[in-house]
Amino acid sequence: QVQLVESGGGLVQPGGSLRLSCVVSGSIKVLYAMGWYRQAPGKQRELVAHITGGGTTNYAGSVKGRFTISRDNAKNTVSLQMNSLKPEDTAVYYCNAVTPAGDHWGQGTQVTVSS
């Protein structure tokens, strides 16, 4: 069984920064891609950022240049540095990891950008 635990969400003013972290634990033989998704009220879950096992990254157009995804393969962690946050970034952020057993999700962490 694979568990993902996110941390780092909270309330921040527009223009501020937050760093999300996700620790993956359990029966892990191989971690393939990892990523961050978000879901705002009334909207579908969407990809925010994605990183392959080799470190290739991909970002949603709305966050490109503001967010940075990184991973530590030795610690089975993935992080999302979010800068220049906007009110439209408000959402529940979910960590995702892909293993040979399939997709795994965290419970989500709330990010609220408001003055």
113 vs 45: CA distance, rounded Å = 18
93 vs 49: CA distance, rounded Å = 11
Which pLDDT band, with edges at 50, 70 and 90, does 51 fall under? very high
pLDDT tens, position by position, 73-91: 999 999 999 999 999 999 9
